[in-house]
Amino acid sequence: MTMRRLSVFNVTSLVIGFAFLYLPILLLVLYSFNASRLVTVWGGFSTQWYGALFRNEALMEAAWVTLRVAFLSATLATVLGTLAALALTRYGRFPGRTLFTGMVYAPMVMPEVITGLSLLLFFVAVDFDRGFWTITLAHTTLTMCFVTVVVQSRLMTFDRSLEEAAMDLGAPPLRTFFSVTLPLIAPSIVAGFLLAFTLSMDDLVIASFNAGPGATTLPIKIYSAVRLGLSPEVNAASAILIGIVTLGVISATLLSKRSVLRSRRNAH
Amino acid sequence: MRRSFAPWANPDAKPLIRFENVTKRFGESTAVDHLSLDIFEGEFFCLLGPSGCGKTTLMRMLAGFESPTEGTITLGDQNLAGVPPYRRPVNMMFQSYALFPHMSVEKNIAFGLKQDGMPKDQIADRVGEMLRLVQLEKLARRYPSQLSGGQRQRVALARALAKKPKVLLLDEPLGALDKKLREETQFELMDIQHDLHMTFVVVTHDQEEAMTMADRIAVMDHGRIVQVATPGEIYEQPKTRFIAEFVGDVNIIEGHVQGQENGLWRVKTSSAEVPLTIDDPDEVLHSGQAVAIAVRPEKMVIQRDLPGPGAINVLTGEVWDIGYLGDWTVYRVKLATGEILRVTRANASRFVENPIEWDEQVYVTFAPDAAVILAE
């Protein structure tokens, strides 16, 4: 079989498809290097808005909050999500397993508005001051299931006889977990963490429901800034955000792919 | 000399491993069924049987990965009930080898020693010793994914031997190797077991492997042990038709006991005009009883000329198939009844004049003591 030649039709639809997806983003990044104050008029290349961004304390503060929330919620989600994945793969049948599976995965398909609203109602009901911690907890709820999915798919291909071998050689269960299981599923855990981190970083809906006067995240800040009029500074902030998210998603994909490949190679 | 080793024949010998009336059930199905078995120190013991016969479950109970539903397992003076795998003086070589992919060869071998808290320099010495034993000194720093199947098998063996366990369990140790390597490794395993004076318990479904390596073989079927004996006894004196057919090739001729003459059994069959004469004095049979006569292919003689009038156990047929294997030739002879006999002949000389050809009428004979009678 020879490689199929790309016909004119194929190339055209490919270009239009990608343009549809990425042209707006490309435009945004391009305009973040615009020398003109007017967002829609090209006035030459300049990095001045990046400089202005770093001098804008309100935006920088929001960025700092976003990073801290993302790191903390991703960490929490990774621990909880990994435990859920272990429970789902290791304890074959327990009463309420189907319900448990459904409940773990529900936040994935739940409309964000509803997740955000219900969390807000909950925090109001228990009289929890809204701010940094409420956003962090809300993001943990949102991202945990993504960690579970990634780690679970790795655990499905995990050769249990490796753990049996460790125990057979004298390692008690906990030491077996830390010296054999954990190192082998680590890439998928890191991938889950990166996914949770990026999801938390670009979330607007849930964060805006649960943000308080003390803490605003970057997406919220950008959204409200845009409502007052487009500014090249926001373009610059968005371009950086896009960069971080892209990097996170690419490394997560590579890590989980490598980890699955490795487990497959060792099976032979 | 190994052959003088036979502790099972000594009534005073104390077994190292003792299964007493052990049963293991998984839900509805019974994997091991009221099984009792003694294994002695220094034995090379094989559990042989078709897949699903319970041999792997039996081994996993010894390793501690499964616990018996009923009955007790003792090792030396220790009752193993409730003892977790990491506290048993038993190590296992897994069928998949189960090498830790994130550790180098030497780290893999050192893993068990580290768990015991052995000092570092001693660990290094022991790892070196094990690497020499399996001839892998040069690959100490490689990772499992960089090794061939045979090399991985050696690492798995070295890792399981490193702690000098009282008993080494081997689950289909040669299953993943190709034929030539398998044969070599069989003899290596035997040498290692002999040199280390260790007790080996091997699970296998390959009867040739079991015959070559074992001091004794336990043939299992449906969770029970059908026969425990030396390879020679299993082959020459199988207790049941299942064993006769499972271990090696065999011709089964069905018939009915006619009576006993001069200590020899006379068995009427549809395969031969004259009743067959069988020398199997240990069997207790009665007239009219349905029996199966088992004769190994190499104990039958194939010839073109009609044997003399005094000849016994003569079966007439025609050559249906000839398989030339180099060292052996296999003849498949079809009798008038439609039964097909398998007869082998060693190719002792390079040139045979006028060899037996396809579709020729031939006579197959066997001596009375070449056959075994198996009660149905």
CATH of the domain at B272: 2.40.50.140
Domain that holds residue B310: 250-375
Q: In this structure, what are the phi and psi dihedrals at residue A95, rounded to the nearest 5 degrees?
A: -60, 130
pLDDT band at B263 (very low <50, low <70, confident <90, very high): confident
pLDDT in tens, B158-175: 999 999 999 999 999 998
Q: In this structure, what are the phi and psi dihedrals at residue B80, rounded to the nearest 5 degrees?
A: -85, 0
CATH of the domain at B182: 3.40.50.300
Does residue B134 fall inside a structural domain? yes
- DSSP-assigned letter for residue A241: H
B191 with B264, same domain: the answer is: no
Please check whether residue A165 touches B, CB under 8 A. Answer: yes
Domain count, chain A: 1
Please check whether residue A174 touches B, CB under 8 A. Answer: no
B306 with B210, same domain: the answer is: no
Does residue B168 fall inside a structural domain? yes
pLDDT in tens, B94-136: 999 999 999 999 999 999 999 999 999 999 999 999 999 999 9
Please check whether residue A175 touches B, CB under 8 A. Answer: yes
Does residue A121 fall inside a structural domain? yes
B261 with B314, same domain: the answer is: yes
pLDDT mean by block of 10 residues, chain A; 268 residues:
70 89 85 81 85 86 91 96 91 81 87 92 91 93 93 90 96 95 91 91 90 86 82 83 86 79 60
Does residue A29 fall inside a structural domain? no
CA-based nearest residue in chain B for residue A181: B100
Query: For position B282, what pLDDT does the model report?
Result: 79
Last residue of one domain, picked from the residues B191, B221, B245:
B245
Contacts of A169 (CB under 8 A, 6+ apart): B86, B91, B111, B112, B115, B159, B163
B229 with B254, same domain: the answer is: no
Residue B278 backbone class (left: φ over 0; alpha: ψ -120 to 50; beta: rest): beta
Cβ atoms of B36 and B85 closer than 8 Å? no
Strand order in the sheet with B78-79: B29-39, B17-26, B70-75, B78-79
Last residue of one domain, picked from the residues B245, B276, B298:
B245
Name the minimum distance, in Å, from the CA of A109 to any CA of chain B. 36
SS3 A95: coil
Do B100 and A265 lie within an 8 Å CB cutoff? no
In this predicted model, which residue has the larger pLDDT, B241 or A36?
B241
Does residue B2 fall inside a structural domain? no
pLDDT in tens, B300-325: 999 988 888 878 899 999 999 999 99
Place of tokens 């190292």: B16
Name the minimum distance, in Å, from the CA of B258 to any CA of chain A. 56
Please check whether residue A44 touches B, CB under 8 A. Answer: no
Does residue A1 fall inside a structural domain? no
B186 with B297, same domain: the answer is: no
Does residue B1 fall inside a structural domain? no
B110 with B180, same domain: the answer is: yes
Two tokens, residue A12: 């055209």
- Test mutation, A168, A185, A188, chain B, max B CBs within 10 A: A168
Last residue of one domain, picked from the residues B220, B245, B270:
B245
Name the minimum distance, in Å, from the CA of B231 to any CA of chain A. 30
Q: Chain A contacts of B96, Cβ < 8 Å?
A: 159, 161, 267
CATH of the domain at A260: 1.10.3720.10
- DSSP-assigned letter for residue A1: -
B259 with B201, same domain: the answer is: no
Do A168 and B91 lie within an 8 Å CB cutoff? yes
Least confident residue range of A53-57, B196-200, B326-330? A53-57
pLDDT band at B257 (very low <50, low <70, confident <90, very high): very high
The strand pairing partners of B256, in sequence order, are B268, B290
Please check whether residue A260 touches B, CB under 8 A. Answer: no
Query: For position A266, what pLDDT does the model report?
Result: 57
Do A161 and B94 lie within an 8 Å CB cutoff? yes
The per-residue DSSP string of B195-206 comes to HHT-EEEEEES-
Cβ atoms of B143 and B87 closer than 8 Å? no
Query: For position A25, what pLDDT does the model report?
Result: 84
pLDDT band at B3 (very low <50, low <70, confident <90, very high): low
- Overall average pLDDT of the B22-44 stretch: 94
| Torsion sign (Cα): B244, B250, B255, B259 | negative
B255 with B330, same domain: the answer is: yes
Q: How far is CA A245 from the centre of its chain?
A: 8
Name the minimum distance, in Å, from the CA of A124 to any CA of chain B. 48
Q: How far is CA B80 from the centre of its chain?
A: 26
Q: Chain A contacts of B159, Cβ < 8 Å?
A: 165, 169
B240 with B254, same domain: the answer is: no
Do B100 and A165 lie within an 8 Å CB cutoff? yes
B183 with B307, same domain: the answer is: no
- Rounded (10°) CA dihedral A139, A140, A145, A146: 60
Domain count, chain B: 2
Do B98 and A167 lie within an 8 Å CB cutoff? no
B259 with B319, same domain: the answer is: yes
Does residue A189 fall inside a structural domain? yes
Domain that holds residue A253: 48-267
Least confident residue range of B16-30, B49-63, B172-186? B172-186
B108 with B51, same domain: the answer is: yes
| Torsion sign (Cα): A21, A22, A27, A33 | positive
Question: What is the rounded CA–CA span in Å between residue B22 and residue B35?
Answer: 5
- Overall average pLDDT of the B1-15 stretch: 80
